[in-house]
Amino acid sequence: MKIVVIQGPNLNMLGHREQNIYGPMKLEDIHTQMKNFAEQNGMEIEFFQSNLEGEIVDKIQECLGDADGIIINPAAYTHTSIAIRDAISAVQIPTVEVHLSNIYAREDFRHKSLTAPVCAGQVSGFGPFGYHMAMVAIVQIMNEIKAMREAQQAQK
C-alpha cells in the first residue's frame, strides 16, 4: 500500500511561518514522523510539496495507478482551486484533506474548502497530529475497501 502526501504553497515555510498559528514544527519533521508510522505499518510513503497549482494537479494525476491513498494539504488553494478539486475527483483515489489550523475558526475566506467535498474527509485544527489522523483514516478506508472486495468475491 502506497500513500502520497501532497503539500501546497507556503507549507515549506513551516517552522518559520506564523508560528502562533502553525506551530514550530518544520515540514521535514512532520514528514519524518509520517515516514516512521508508515514503516511501522508496512506502508510505502512519498512526499511532495509545491507552491504551484499546476504542479499539484500534475502530481495528483501521477498518483493514478501508483498510489492507494492521498493525503493533501492544499493550503491556500483549498479555498480557490477548482483545478485541484477536479484532479482529486478525476483520479478516484481515496483522499484525506488536512489543515494544521482550524480553518473554520479563522477568516471567513478560509471557511470554504473547494476540495473537501471530493475528499473522503477532512482533518482541521489538530496541528501536525492531523497528518497522523489522516494516515489512520487512510488505513481504515483501505481495510474497508479490501473487506468489500473480498465480500464481493465471495458472492461470485
Q: Does 101 bind ligand DQA (CB under 6 A)?
A: yes
Q: According to CB under 6 A, which one of 2, 35, 110, 132 is a site residue for ligand DQA?
A: 110
Toward ligand DQA, which CB reaches closer, 56 or 103? 103
**With contact defined as beta carbons under 8 Å apart, do 9 and 144 qualify?**
no
Q: According to CB under 6 A, which one of 4, 72, 103, 134 is a site residue for ligand DQA?
A: 103
Is 22 an active-site residue? yes
The interface mask with ligand DQA, positions 4-43, x = CB under 6 A, is ------x---------------------------------
Residue of 147, 145, 135 whose CA lies nearest to 40: 135
